[in-house]
Amino acid sequence: MAFIELNHVFKTYSNGVTALADVNLQINRGEFVFVIGESGSGKSTLNKLLYREEKVTKGNVMVGGVNVSKLKNSNVYKLRRKVGVVFQDFKLLPKLTVYENIAYPLETYGLDSAVIREKVMDAVERVGLKDKIRSYPNQLSGGEQQRVCIARAIVNRPKLIICDEPTGDLDPKMSREIMDVIEKINKELESTVIMSTHDKEIVNRMKKRVICIHNGVVVSDTEKGKYLEYEDN
């Protein structure tokens, strides 16, 4: 059984815009998958359905055997504990140190401080920021801030890591470094990684599975694929 399954998924917003139309996908545990497509194609909507920021209009979304589309709102937090999300704009809390930003989600779970410290230090080691744990976000470069975001996403060793344009605000050199970190984590933690991106160079260099969405429809799904420019006929 696939780790992630989307069966005949539709998502239509209240303004009448259909973001996804009859999407069917299967993604195995531990896979690294790029999701590409022009702005407004449905990439971000797909991500949000996986961690239940949005609910499907029709169809089913399965994550690790759980029907996310049928999950009660009161149980969404259980799903979120198993999913790490890396955002383009970092979403770091400016008045908290690197350590505190990474520890924050664990503190909301009520974990013991010794357990939190062990998990946080493991995460900062994995992203190469051990010497920055007392720094604040405004003292870090963009690449370092994104590493903090990645550490926060992986601090609970999630089974699924969703990356929404994680290199969108970074220069090419920093983008390559961030991708190397994410690929390393994918292998070490055996977490499934789903990454939406516009970065052609990264997609073409890494030769992972590439899913292309155009106008809410999956138009291509290729193993070891390249960046695809899709246009209407």
How confident is the model at residue 108, as a pLDDT?
87
57-103 residue pLDDT tens? 999 999 999 999 889 989 998 888 889 999 888 889 999 999 999 99
How confident is the model at residue 49, as a pLDDT?
96
112 part of a folded domain: yes
75 contact partners, CB below 8 Å, separation of at least 6: none
**How many domains does the structure of the chain reveal?**
1
126-164 residue pLDDT tens? 999 999 999 999 999 999 999 999 999 999 999 999 999
How confident is the model at residue 231, as a pLDDT?
62
How confident is the model at residue 78, as a pLDDT?
86
102 part of a folded domain: yes
How confident is the model at residue 136, as a pLDDT?
97
133 part of a folded domain: yes
Residue 122, domain extent: 90-157
How confident is the model at residue 203, as a pLDDT?
94
128 part of a folded domain: yes
Band (pLDDT 50/70/90 cuts) for residue 232 is low
Higher per-residue pLDDT: 228 or 111 = 111
CB 216 within 8 A of CB 21: yes
Q: Residue 219: is its pLDDT beyond 70?
A: yes
149 part of a folded domain: yes
**Which whole number is the average pLDDT over 23-49?**
94
**Side-by-side strand order, sheet with 66-67:** 18-27, 4-12, 58-63, 66-67
Using a 10 angstrom Cβ sphere, with 0-12 exposed, 13-18 middle and 19 or more buried, the burial of residue 232 is exposed
C-alpha neighbours within 13 Å on the C-beta side of residue 181:
28
121 part of a folded domain: yes
Please provide the DSSP assignment of 90-115 as one string: ----TTS-HHHHHHHHHHHTT--HHH
99 part of a folded domain: yes
**Average pLDDT over all residues of the chain:** 93
Task: Read off the pTM.
Answer: 0.93
